[in-house]
Structure 1
Amino acid sequence: MRFPAPLHPGVLIKRYKRFLADVELDTGETVTAHCPNPGSMLGLKDPGSRCWLSHTDDPKRKLKYTLEVLEADNTLVGINTNRPNRLAEDAIRAGAIPALSGYDSLRREVKYGVNSRIDLLLESAARPVCYVEVKNCHLMRTPGLTEFPDSVTSRGAKHLGELSEMVRQGHRAVQLFVVQRNDCEVLSPADDLDPVYAQALRDASTAGVEVIAWACDITLEGIEIVREIEVKL
């Protein structure tokens, strides 16, 4: 996935009210940007951090700038949680994720379970339907280890229950973590931040839900899923 236009560099002043961020652009202008990330962004919201924003001229948008990339731990980190579904779709269509290759069709946001929508539904006449739930991940507190979630997510635990039910019905189900940074080798659940989700992830794995994680290459030109990393539950 390439950004449609060059990103605007700046320095983060503060992130607040979950979806807002004040940024001083390198031009000297201070702007309020949309921060498309419902999590805590633990370790990624320090004032003074270098950051990069996309811009739109859409007259319907109140906030013209969107926070896309931050610099942390001497690497670039993607913080836009709207990106991973597109990144996963592109990678699957390109055959870049072997575990999810070989399907005839891919559909997004398909209703299933109890008032839920699956991120990606893979279908083939010769194989069981595959339900793929995509989660964004960018928390790193220990070098080389990325953890999920960075705050409590009851919705995430619900999704794991839905995936487990699909397995019980004879389908295939996959929890795919898209890690928007390239300095991690292992993914684990963050037991101290959300023990309920951590246990739900382990229970889902025991029930037959496949848990995989892929790291991204982040540049100021675009983001691409590039390599699988180990999952330790």
Structure 2
Amino acid sequence: MKFPEPLIEGRLIRRYKRFLADVRLSDGTEVTAHCPNTGSMLGCQPADGRVWLSRSENPARKLPYTWELVETSPGKLACVNTARPNAQARNAIEAGRVAELTGYTHCRTEVRYGEEKSRIDLLLSGHHSAPDAWVEVKNVTLAEAGQGFFPDAVTTRGQKHLRELMAQVELGDRAVLFFVVNHTGIEAVRPADHIDPHYGQLLRRACDAGVEVLAYRANLGRDDGNPTGDMTLGESVPVILEV
């Protein structure tokens, strides 16, 4: 999975109104880009930080630029576009790069399910010997000392998703929480107990109930700290639940 066109480098001036970011391009031009991330983006908004934008040629778009990547610390890149992780996970699964989820022949997206009226990101079916797999995808970009943390803010929605996944296990299906690690500096993923302790407690309960937790890191950056242009998920990273 690659960006269709080379990304455009700039410097972050400010993010505001959640969906907007002012960026100074390399030639000094200042543009307003769409910020496709409604979360806190904790650790992903460094003052004057290097950022990379994609540009759409669709004349109907009010804002042609979209904020895609940010350098959170020297040489470490994160993807802040939360429209990307579902496609990253699906592409990796369908390409057979996620060992735990091979053998499925069909993948549906945004399927309604559960008593709390959720939509699952990916529903895998058609395996010759395994039950259907309900896969909830989460984007991990908060990094501290090589550790990735989720969530980066209190998330009642994320708590609901864990309850729904546990219910699917009770019905006899597989339920999977899939962390897409969109930060090149993350070596392991942990629940962010210091941010949302209830989510951490619920995640451990979900694991005890049979919910599977996976984490795979994206190939975002080169050794020199510049983007590869490649969003493909590569190696898995451990998920550590111990407090």
What range describes the TM-score normalised by the shorter chain of this pair?
Answer: over 0.9
Q: Secondary structure at the match of 2:39?
A: coil
Gaps of 5+ in 1: none
1:166 to 138, 144, 168: 168
**Cα offsets for 1:80-113 (capped at 9, x unmatched):** 1110000001100110000011111111111111
Q: How far is 1:222 from its partner? A: 2.2
TM-score with structure 1 setting the length = 0.96
- Aligned twin of 2:21: 21
- How many residue pairs get matched? 232
Structure 1 position 7 matched with structure 2 position 7: yes
- Aligned twin of 1:230: 238
For the Cα contact (< 8 Å) 1:182–1:217, is it kept in 2? yes
Counting aligned pairs with the same residue, the percent is: 50
Q: Secondary structure at the match of 2:96?
A: coil
Letter in 1 for 2:206: A
Gaps of 5+ in 2: 221-226
**Cα offsets for 1:139-164 (capped at 9, x unmatched):** 012x2200001111111110010000
Q: How far is 1:196 from its partner? A: 1.7
Q: How far is 1:75 from its partner? A: 1.5
Structure 2 distance, partners of 1:220, 1:104, is: 30
- Aligned twin of 2:208: 206
Larger mean CA deviation between 129-138 and 117-126 belongs to: 117-126
Structure 2 distance, partners of 1:208, 1:136, is: 21
**Cα offsets for 1:46-76 (capped at 9, x unmatched):** 1210010001122222111100011122212
- Aligned twin of 2:80: 79
**Cα offsets for 1:115-145 (capped at 9, x unmatched):** 211100110253211100000001012x220
Q: Secondary structure at the match of 1:230?
A: coil
Structure 2 distance, partners of 1:60, 1:96, is: 36
Structure 1 position 53 matched with structure 2 position 56: no
For the Cα contact (< 8 Å) 2:111–2:121, is it kept in 1? yes
Q: How far is 1:8 from its partner? A: 1.0
- Aligned twin of 1:149: 151
**Cα offsets for 1:159-184 (capped at 9, x unmatched):** 01000000001110000000002222
For the Cα contact (< 8 Å) 1:14–1:46, is it kept in 2? no
Structure 1 distance, partners of 2:79, 2:14, is: 17
1:119 to 115, 118, 121: 121
Structure 2 distance, partners of 1:55, 1:88, is: 23
Structure with the largest fraction of strand: 1
Deviating runs (4+, > 2 A) in structure 1? none
- Aligned twin of 1:137: 140
